[in-house]
Structure 1
Amino acid sequence: MSVLLYRLGRFAYGKPWYVIGGWLAVLAAVVVLLVTNPVKLSNEVRIDGTPSQKVIDELATSLPEASGGQGILLFKAPDGARIDGEKVRPALLAAVDAVYRHDHVIDARKVLAREAARGENSPLLRAQAAVARAAGQSAGGIPAGQPSGGNPVPLQAGGQPVPGVVVSADHSTALLQFQFDQQTFELPSGTIDSTIEAAEQQAARAGLEVLPSAAMMEIPEIVGIGEIVGVAVAALVLLVTLGSVVAAGLPLAIALVGVTVGVGGAFTLSTVFEIHSLAAVLALMLGLAVGIDYALFIVNRERRLILDEGLDAHEATGRAVGTAGSAVFFAGSTVIIALAGLLVIGITLLSTMALVAAATIAVAVLLALTLLPALLGLVKERVCPARTRHRTQRPEAAADRERAVRWGTCLVRRKYAALAAAILLPAILAVPAADMKLGLPSGASYNPDTGQRRSYELISDAYGPGYNGPLLIAVNSTHKGELLTPATLAAVTSDLKSVEGSASVSLAGMNRTGTTAILSLIPGSGPSDDATEDLVTALRDRTTRMSAAHGVTVGISGFTALAIDVSDRLADALPLYVATVLGLSLIVLLLVFRSLMVPVTATLGFLLTIAATFGLTTAVFQWGWLQNVIGLDATAPVVSLLPIIITGVLYGLAMDYQMFLVTSMREAHVHGATALDATVTGFARASSVVLAAATIMVSVFAGFVFNAEPMIKQAGFALAVGILIDAFVIRMTLIPATMALAQEKAWWIPAWLNRLLPDLDVEGDKLAQKIPLPRPATPSPHAPTQKADSIR
């Protein structure tokens, strides 16, 4: 492997425009495809096979108009004015009319007019009256909420209720609920924004404020000021680490090209495959972070070979790609394996995320092994500034290495204290994880200055918290073609209304044949409350009895039901996923390090990392601790998708640092150092670049913490703190202490297994034997002047 990569590095350096031209062609193809095929991303959390998703899929056939995305707009009257007063009502009605007339919005007024024309032959009107009587509502079937001061009432126009519009009991707000003709992610780009703008234009005539709910979201902003600041911090770290603007610019260039090809390539396929917006964000985060890190490892090795060994840039590049490039290849492999493990779960949403992110990582590795040496071929000797190459005094890097030697020696000599601290700290941080609650983001998850949060709070105050997450009850006749009688629907309504926690039930829709009906059940609690989860469980427990008693099938869906199903499905899949990833990665680590203890300790250390990560995420987002530090003011459950995604991503990234740090230790050991000396020497060689790489990753991930989208915010935070803990506590403290404790046993492997394993030569020993390192006529002034003291 090292010899092959050495030759690849020398070729790319010597023929840079061949390689650069090839990548430019790839970039051009991606850009052309993006221009000709508009990007189409999804916000839908779809988990096939769950009860909630089955209800939605069945409605797509039996009642298509009810399977589209839901829109909710809240209209707030100016202070002191009534929303249904003479001065405000015309603007409100005009705004409602503008929404119903908008493309892709189903006009409920036309549906009611059509049914009214059918008179007594309308199953919808007969069912509506029966359900209203059973639920104790007005004839219009307006659900009763539980706000202070009374129940909401329908908005009247011409003596008739306006469908979909409810006025709060204090007459300060009006709530419009409507349906799109497609799921929100399938709507043409800009449809939701233009619908809101149409309402705002009319509402502005009377000073009405229009607030969309969290359900009405376009694709979130993927790159904002926080992400840009994160990349800027990464650039500063590169400049400090490499000491040259030219050298620091190369990793940034590699990362930007990588995310353009990887994420851009995924976007070009979005018209063929459904790609979730979180998949694009995850690929962007990983692409930026690992793209910078992998290039940093190779550039840093090349500079060390130039400064310490006195090699010319061409030879140094070849050897850097042959040695550090080998570590990059296998480090990238562990990340890809960890992501590919998501495929075994069989959930399309996660599979898409895994494939997009894994493809972006693969592109980053290829760029580091090909485009980077080609760019180094253009830069040539300028990768090290002239003032650095020709200085005769000891460089500052040597002083940094001495500090690393002293810290490594301290860890080795005080191994028991270091080991105890490295275990105790993550264990304490992991305690809140025992209380971790999973769910999906709602309006309550957003910051107070956002429209989604204001809408959520106003709806809760004016109508009741349950209006933010109504449950969808699908009722179908058991026998094909048999009508649902008003008496049957009334009986089902009574049963649903009697369940503890149910505030009201109303008819939301019915197909023309009268065989399928949709009931809207308003819980008495918010969508993320435990009481609402208990209500869903109780309703599902009762559906079997209702089906038998009334000759119908009853299905439960809606925000809370979907959140429960998603959490349960992912919780069931997590053990299989973890077992698959750990098994495959242990094999890779065994091949690389030819040791039994190293892969095991690496994996156990990761388990401490992930436990502490979930503990901190729970404490900050669910308990609300230290939220002001990250500009957050909203408590919410941990996103259901987060544990399984973060587990895979963090495992792969953690093994990156394990690979670079322990590979340096193995290299020293292979070349004759004792186990203790190899631990100190390897730590001194790799710790500074691992420190820089971890700082870069934390900076990039932390930039996403300030994204307005709750899922992206939580993912950025979890990855940032996970890398922080793993790099500094586990890899740079626990692992050296463990290696010092085990000494020579750390590298033990049964002789029979050693003979069976292929020699991957990640440390470049075969490269040194086959192509001996050329020695300069005069020793480099930057070569180390002092060896680390032997540890006894």
Structure 2
Amino acid sequence: MAEFLYRLGRGSAHHARKIIAAWIAILVLAAVAFSIGGGTLSSSMSIPGTPTAEVTDRLAAEFPSASGGTGNIIAQSTDGQPFTDAQQKAIGTLTADAATIDGVERVIDPFTTEAQRADSARAITDGSSKMADAREQLDAGDTELKTSQAQLAAGQKRLDAAIAQARAAGMYEQAKDELERQQAQLDAATKKLDAGAATLQENRSKLDQEATKLEQGESMLNMAAEIRTVSQDGGAAITMVVFTAAQMDITQETKDALVALFENADVDGVQFDFSSEITQGVPSVFGPGEAIGLVVAGIVLVLMLGTFIGAGLPLLTALVGVGIGALGALSLSSVLEMSSVTPMLGLMLGLAVGIDYSLFIINRHRHQLKDGYEVRESIALANGTSGNAVVFAGATVFIALLALNVTRIPFLGLMGSVGAASVLIAVLVAITLTPALLSLVGRKILSRSERAALATGTAPKNASAAPAPKTRVRPMSTAGAILTAIASVAVLLVVATPALDLRLNLPDGSSESHESTQYRAYSAISERFGEGQNGALLIVADLPGSPTEEESQAHQTRIAETLFAQDDVIAVAPAGTSADRTVAAFQLIPAQGPTSVSTEELVHSLRDLSPLDGTYPIGVAGSASGNVDISQKLSDALPFYLLVVIGLSMLILLLVFRSIVVPIIATLGFILSYYAALGGVVAIYQWGWLPAIFGVDTPGPILSFLPTLLVGILFGLAMDYQLFLGTGMREAFVHGAPARLAVVKGVRAGRAVVSAAAIIMISVFGGFIFAESAMIRPIGFALAFGVLLDAFVVRMLLIPALMHLAGDKAWWLPRWLEKILPDIDVEGAKLERRHPHSEAAESAEAPAAHN
């Protein structure tokens, strides 16, 4: 690999303009691809096969008219007073106009809905009154019937007595006709009364049926009382928009048209805000925070390299790489279900590693120039040595990110793949575009003073080495190593303690910037309609048999009453039934927001109730339910992925350092820095520490995929630092230095470039702490804080201390294993022996050198 990179660097330097033109062409192609294939990004995520996904699919099949995406538009009167008739009319007109926008299925007028609800309430009240009157009339009819029946019975008794008396007196035959006439009259009256009784019973049965329907309607209305579209004070209204396409497929044009309609409307005294489902789109990829991060990285580069040209090259190559990576990822957003975090993650990683990887090659090249190397000779050698280390370091990050696909979670695998592609692009840019640019700038990569010193022959002959210490290099003391190791571990464990309280979920509108329309919409709903309105659950229930309309209504009432009786449920309303009335859907409003502990527990308890009352199998869906499922799925996948990464770490370090001990302590260090980084995230974003500094206005659960994502990224970066520091230790040990002295030499040789690289990464990642996207901020913090701890506590303090304590045993490797392991020349020592610096060659080509 080193020889190949040597030739690649030499060829890139020789054909510099062609290489630069090729990368510019690729960047243009990526921009064209984005303009053609750029689609909609989402802040919502789903995982196929989860309980929520299964219920959602069933809803789409059973209720196709309700399968489109939804969003809310919140209207509020600016004076806090109830809407005037004119304002209500204007909002109604906007609602009707919104329904005509291409891609909108229907728009629900909040005032019409509330009017219908009021009409239903009045109808039930009127029905109850009429029912009472009808029942009184039936009762009066019953009384009259009973009186007539009593009179008829008395008449029959008298007739029977007369017949008996006539028979006893022998006068029956003479009185027979009259007696039979009287009996016929009584029979007719009895028949008439029986018919009246049957009619009364039929009417009472009908009345009972109507009463049952009325009671069911009243029960349903009472249970749905908290599901409102207009606030109780009359000063806020929710307009729900139903789109024709699924949530992920809603076009940006449809959303933009909807937002423009309401924002441009001249409704005096009314403010409109939009939920994230309507306003989400391609987030801003570059803001003030990211700019500050790049400025800090530039300052570090200037301080380290001593020249603005040298500082500018890593920034330029990184920007080219992230431009290609970000635009390429976004160009796929129209054909792939892509989260808004995905391209931002590629941008973040591409910037950080792109700057660092280019820096490693440039730094080596500068030292070689000061050693007297000719420009192109130095470029080729730097590409074959430091470039080899860059390829190996990039490969570790690439593999770790690509390994996210083993979790079998599609959106996380896509994030890993985009991140891996961004790292791959950064590596390719570093080993091709960087040599080309170095060839064009020539010796101007050095400062004026350095070029002047080189021209006069006063440059230090071994500028690539660490500055000579004033005193002889000595190993650290054993007591100092013990104290350093204990202190480092203690600090990391203390910082990691908050991770024990880690709660996972996806962010809701409360985590958005308080100046954003999404936050205003979320908070308005919470304050004026109840927190639970932001996280409604959907319940799907199977009804037994083939129920009639009346039986279906009875089943729905029974299900709704059982659901309403559960803790932390404030409202339940029927949402519809399937065509054959065998499936019923309900909207359920929890007491608290979608990311609250009580809502999470409610999702689990509702699922545990199935079959409801032993009769009705139920399923739970909705954004809150989906977030619970995603968090659970990610939590289940994390241990396996962590084992994969740890195994990969052990294997890579074993190959590089040919040691058993080094991989073990390096991996344990990574685990400590990982959990410490999680502890910091919990303290800031879940507990709400230092809100003024980090802009955390509303603490809440941690992004559910952050722990898994952090494993892959932080592992790759940790291995980078271990590589650049550890190879220096091994090189010193192999060249005869005692093991403990080799530790100090390795740290001194690599600490400057590793410190600079870490500070650059911290700056770049830290810039994303203040990004526009609420999901990217904790990721930026976790990576910046994780790099800080891993580079400066684990790699520069803990690992050297442990290596000192291990002594010669740090480099122990069984002979049988040593024989079968390939010899990986990461630093390119063999390459340097094959291509030694030639003074003669330098002298011959000196006239061609750039000044």
Question: TM over 0.5, yes or no?
Answer: yes
List gaps (5 residues or longer) in structure 1.
117-128, 146-151, 154-165, 780-792
1:216 paired residue number: 278
Task: Give, in angstroms, the shift of residue 240 of structure 1.
Answer: 1.3
After superposition, residues 357-506 of structure 1 pair within 5 angstroms as 357-391=419-453, 392=458, 401=467, 414-477=480-543, 485-506=552-573
Task: Give, in angstroms, the shift of residue 248 of structure 1.
Answer: 1.3
Q: What is the root-mean-square deviation in Å for CA atoms of aligned residues?
A: 3.0
Aligned counterpart for 1:143 among listed residues 224, 247, 270: 224
1:230 paired residue number: 293
Shift in alpha-carbon separation, 1:389–1:101, aligned structure 2, 3 A: same
1:572 paired residue number: 636
Structure 1 residue identity aligned to 2:41: L
After superposition, residues 613-692 of structure 1 pair within 5 angstroms as 613-692=677-756
1:790 paired residue number: none
Task: Give, in angstroms, the shift of residue 514 of structure 1.
Answer: 4.2
Asked whether 1:720 is paired with 2:801, we answer no
Structure 2 residue identity aligned to 1:176: T
After superposition, residues 740-751 of structure 1 pair within 5 angstroms as 740-751=804-815
Aligned counterpart for 2:383 among listed residues 308, 321, 330: 321
Mean Cα displacement is larger for which, 212-221 or 257-266?
212-221
Residue pair 1:622, 1:636 contacting (<8 A) in 2 also: yes
2:27 paired residue number: 27
2:602 paired residue number: 535
Task: Give, in angstroms, the shift of residue 740 of structure 1.
Answer: 1.7
Task: Give, in angstroms, the shift of residue 662 of structure 1.
Answer: 1.0
Distance 1:131 1:707 in 2: 55
Distance 2:51 2:291 in 1: 41
Distance 1:372 1:133 in 2: 78
Distance 1:634 1:606 in 2: 30
Asked whether 1:265 is paired with 2:334, we answer no
Aligned counterpart for 1:341 among listed residues 395, 400, 403: 403
Task: Give, in angstroms, the shift of residue 295 of structure 1.
Answer: 0.5
Cα deviation 1:670-729 (Å, max 9, x = unaligned): 333332332222212211111111111111111111123221111111111111111111
Structure 2 residue identity aligned to 1:640: S
After superposition, residues 744-783 of structure 1 pair within 5 angstroms as 744-774=808-838
Aligned counterpart for 1:243 among listed residues 285, 306, 316: 306
Shift in alpha-carbon separation, 1:399–1:768, aligned structure 2, 3 A: closer
After superposition, residues 590-609 of structure 1 pair within 5 angstroms as 590-609=654-673
Distance 1:186 1:300 in 2: 47
2:182 paired residue number: none
Structure 2 residue identity aligned to 1:647: V
1:524 paired residue number: 591
Mean Cα displacement is larger for which, 58-67 or 426-435?
58-67
Shift in alpha-carbon separation, 1:31–1:559, aligned structure 2, 3 A: closer
2:8 paired residue number: 8
Residue pair 2:19, 2:432 contacting (<8 A) in 1 also: yes
1:104 paired residue number: 103
1:44 paired residue number: 44
Structure 2 residue identity aligned to 1:334: T
Mean Cα displacement is larger for which, 12-21 or 340-349?
12-21
Distance 2:87 2:335 in 1: 46
Cα deviation 1:741-772 (Å, max 9, x = unaligned): 22222121111111101111112221233223
Residue pair 1:666, 1:682 contacting (<8 A) in 2 also: yes
Distance 1:294 1:374 in 2: 15
User: How many residues are aligned here?
Assistant: 740
Secondary structure of the structure 2 residue equivalent to 1:48: coil
Task: Give, in angstroms, the shift of residue 479 of structure 1.
Answer: 6.5
Structure 1 residue identity aligned to 2:632: D
Shift in alpha-carbon separation, 1:366–1:78, aligned structure 2, 3 A: closer
Structure 2 residue identity aligned to 1:709: S
Aligned counterpart for 1:295 among listed residues 347, 358, 362: 358
Task: Give, in angstroms, the shift of residue 412 of structure 1.
Answer: 7.6
Structure 2 residue identity aligned to 1:532: T
Task: Give, in angstroms, the shift of residue 101 of structure 1.
Answer: 3.1
List gaps (5 residues or longer) in structure 2.
117-210, 844-851
Residue pair 1:67, 1:183 contacting (<8 A) in 2 also: yes
Shift in alpha-carbon separation, 1:274–1:462, aligned structure 2, 3 A: closer
Structure 2 residue identity aligned to 1:594: R
Task: Give, in angstroms, the shift of residue 25 of structure 1.
Answer: 3.4
Cα deviation 1:119-172 (Å, max 9, x = unaligned): xxxxxxxxxx99995485675x88333xxxxxx76xxxxxxxxxxxx2111122
2:417 paired residue number: 355
Structure 2 residue identity aligned to 1:193: D
Residue pair 1:335, 1:361 contacting (<8 A) in 2 also: yes
Shift in alpha-carbon separation, 1:187–1:132, aligned structure 2, 3 A: farther
Distance 1:481 1:268 in 2: 50
1:787 paired residue number: none
Distance 1:509 1:348 in 2: 32
Distance 2:378 2:747 in 1: 22
Cα deviation 1:375-407 (Å, max 9, x = unaligned): 111122221134213334879989984579999
Distance 2:26 2:93 in 1: 51
Residue pair 2:375, 2:442 contacting (<8 A) in 1 also: yes
1:783 paired residue number: none
Aligned counterpart for 2:676 among listed residues 588, 594, 612: 612
Cα deviation 1:475-518 (Å, max 9, x = unaligned): 34567999781111111111111111111111234455545433
Task: Give, in angstroms, the shift of residue 215 of structure 1.
Answer: 3.8
Shift in alpha-carbon separation, 1:399–1:377, aligned structure 2, 3 A: closer
Distance 1:658 1:46 in 2: 36
Residue pair 1:130, 1:490 contacting (<8 A) in 2 also: no
Shift in alpha-carbon separation, 1:405–1:760, aligned structure 2, 3 A: farther
Shift in alpha-carbon separation, 1:135–1:244, aligned structure 2, 3 A: farther
1:121 paired residue number: none
Secondary structure of the structure 2 residue equivalent to 1:647: helix
Structure 2 residue identity aligned to 1:143: A
Comparing both structures, which one devotes a greater share of its residues to helix? 2
Shift in alpha-carbon separation, 1:756–1:720, aligned structure 2, 3 A: same
Asked whether 1:88 is paired with 2:87, we answer yes
